[in-house]
Amino acid sequence: MKYTKPRGTQDILPPDVYLWRRVETVFENTFEAYGYEPIRTPIFEHTDVFLRSVGEATDIVSKEMYTFVDRGGRSVTLRPENTAAVIRAYLENGLHRRGGITRLCYTGPMFRYDRPQSGRYRQFHQVGLEAIGSDNPVVDAETIDVVMTALEALGFDSLAVKLNSVGCAECRKPYGGVLRRELERLKGRLCEDCVGRTDKNPMRVFDCKKCEEVKDELPSISDHLCPACADHFARVKSHLDLLERRYEIDSRLVRGLDYYTRTTFEILHGSLGAQNALCGGGRYDDLVEQCGGPPTPAVGFSAGLERIISVLPEGSPARKAGRNAPDFYVACADENAAPRVVLVARGLRTLGTVEVDVSMRVLKTQLRQAERALARIAVIVESASPLHVKWRDMANREQIDVEDGRLLDVAREHFTDKRSG
């Protein structure tokens, strides 16, 4: 074989694409039910969009971005996540001038130069949403409620919601000092990367997989929240209680991106092993302003479709229907019949879906293929009978001759009978 797909990417083949579409539809319908409107942004952005927002000391920016200089000499990056891009679009298109809360949702591929392993790809797909314009804890609870509602509609029933608050810039100043002092003390046990993080961005130590033991000894931000953040966190929890959404507090959950403030959360699935997060999100009250907009609080999440599909419950409604079978399968008996096949297929398409077979294989093989495709009717066109086609009901294998000119009437009658019968 001459070519193979790049490492960390996947081909999603026809039977699976139907499953993917149904999963995406469940998310889209759920988002719509909560008032979220879809947005589509470019797959690449100016590199700065991610540098500043996601943060230079994060793994995503420092190690995982697909960044390249285009032919015009500009640095561009395949989006590693979508929040920063959605905020860029929100500001650039003046959506902030609408006032109130802007609720946006998206689906699409993201790219990270990560070490490929089970549940971790270099191109992966996320669904997600952003609620921009309110710092009300009701919206934080709503965000968790939307994704849980969608996951339940997909058949999941025992997911763990991990919840934390990472506070605001106000609480982080004193906390940063406390954390740095502790990190200095434990320096000998930190990995090289974390020694560097101590000065630049000490909270990123919590993302490190190598320093798990040290993390347990570090002070947690949730014990250092300012009164306003502590009150906000308490209200998020009480709204989740009202919605009967269960959660566990995880004071180490800081998430691997710099823009988060206050609420952070992840939804975990027990059988996914190390890459067990289906979804991650949180509040990011400073990002809009950092991107040049007016101070505008916001909250959002994104969920990974590869992981959701890999652990989709057996009984999930998304697994039910397969491919939509064609209404008509038009078989072409010989090369000279091809022009009539083209016209017959065009006529039938006004009534239903049509698959044309011009493989010129023997008729028996073509009909077997029609059976495999679960077609309802096979229409056989052959130059030996220039004025008629054969109409074969695949359910009972009854076959009749039909004049070309009557074909659409017969088809219409057939479907009307089926519907009324």
Binding site for ligand AMP (CB under 6 A): 81, 112, 114, 119-121, 124, 126, 256, 277-280, 302-304, 306-307
Q: Find out whether 375 and 367 touch, Cβ atoms under 8 Å.
A: no
118/399 with CB nearer ligand AMP? 118
DSSP string, 279-320: EEEEE-TTHHHHTTS----EEEEEEEHHHHHHT--TT-GGGS
114/355 with CB nearer ligand AMP? 114
Helix (H/G/I), strand (E/B), else coil: 379: strand
311/351 with CB nearer ligand AMP? 311
Write down the residue that tokens 């302003």 correspond to.
289
CA atoms within 13 A on the CB side of 320: 6
State the nearest-atom distance from the C-beta of 307 to ligand AMP, in Å: 4
State the nearest-atom distance from the C-beta of 388 to ligand AMP, in Å: 55
Nearest residue to ligand AMP, by Cβ distance, number only: 304
State the nearest-atom distance from the C-beta of 27 to ligand AMP, in Å: 13
134/302 with CB nearer ligand AMP? 302
Which pair of tokens denotes residue 21? 């579409």
CA atoms within 13 A on the CB side of 396: 3
Q: Find out whether 141 and 240 touch, Cβ atoms under 8 Å.
A: yes
93/118 with CB nearer ligand AMP? 118
State the nearest-atom distance from the C-beta of 179 to ligand AMP, in Å: 22
132/367 with CB nearer ligand AMP? 132
State the nearest-atom distance from the C-beta of 338 to ligand AMP, in Å: 46
322 Cβ neighbours under 8 A, 6+ residues apart? 15, 18
Cα gap 73→283, rounded to integer Å? 35
State the nearest-atom distance from the C-beta of 119 to ligand AMP, in Å: 6
